[in-house]
């Protein structure tokens, strides 16, 4: 293991611990992956984050057929959509999956998030879609997630949770936080009559500004 790979594994563990400590995720329900050369590094299945060591992060070949892995522990049960996203999206370097509360509430209601706030533009369009339901860990869920992520860097998973995909691990986690923030804002706006949705033109103007927007 190179020092660069070890640092990435350590960063994955640090992000896992932070997202639980911050309340963004609970228990071992979420998972994180990151691209390292031709390999996907991903959190192992059903392992408490506080117990993780760099060597325990599973590695899977990105160009493989799926299911092949190395490491002492099995990869997350959600490895399939992580792998398929990295395969399909050269612009994605990391994927964060959470069961964050408000995003999951909307996913349970199968509500996409409209352009209720200009920060929706950070996700590449005028909404954050909710993918159709499929059982966790299945190829069907992966297909549904990829469809919902078309042209986007985040989506909801019906009756499940949320996905954020970023160029880097830091950006993916930043987007995961932004997605939960938007979900919380949208949920509360629905309680007072619903949002006034921004126009496509307003979001397009915001997107131009994001071209030079720092994290």
Query: So which residues are the catalytic ones?
Result: 78
Give the tokens for residue 148.
């919902």
Among 152, 40, 177, 43, which Cα is nearest to 100's?
A: 177
d(CA 187, CA 166): 24
Cα dist from 172 to 26, 161, 167, whole Å: 18, 15, 7
User: What is the SS3 assignment for 39-96?
Assistant: EEEECECCCCHHHCCHHHCEEEECCCCCCCCECCCCECCCHHHHHHHHHHCCCCCEEE
Q: What is the DSSP string of 137-173?
A: TSHHHHHHHHHHTTT-SEEEETTTEEEEEESSHHHHH
d(CA 43, CA 27): 13
Give the tokens for residue 140.
């069907």
């Amino acid at each position: 293991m190179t020092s660069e790979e070890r640092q990435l594994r350590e960063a994955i563990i640090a992000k896992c611990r932070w997202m639980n400590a911050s309340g963004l995720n609970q228990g071992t329900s979420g998972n994180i992956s990151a691209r390292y050369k031709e390999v996907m590094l991903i959190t192992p299945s059903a392992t408490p984050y506080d117990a993780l060591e760099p060597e325990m992060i599973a590695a899977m070949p990105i160009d493989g057929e799926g299911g092949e892995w190395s490491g002492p522990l099995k990869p997350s049960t959600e490895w399939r959509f992580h792998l398929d996203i990295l395969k399909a999206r050269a612009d994605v370097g990391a994927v964060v999956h959470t069961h964050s509360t408000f995003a999951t509430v909307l996913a349970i209601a199968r509500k996409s998030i409209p352009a209720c706030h200009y920060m929706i533009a950070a996700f590449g369009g005028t909404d954050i879609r909710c993918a159709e339901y499929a059982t966790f860990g299945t190829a069907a869920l992966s297909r549904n997630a990829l469809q919902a992520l078309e042209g986007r860097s985040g989506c909801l998973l019906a009756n499940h949770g949320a996905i954020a995909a970023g160029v880097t691990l830091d950006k993916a986690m930043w987007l995961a936080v932004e997605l939960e923030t938007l979900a919380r804002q949208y949920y509360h706006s629905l309680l007072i009559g619903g949002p006034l949705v921004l126009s496509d033109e307003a979001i397009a103007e915001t997107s131009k500004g994001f071209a030079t927007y720092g994290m």
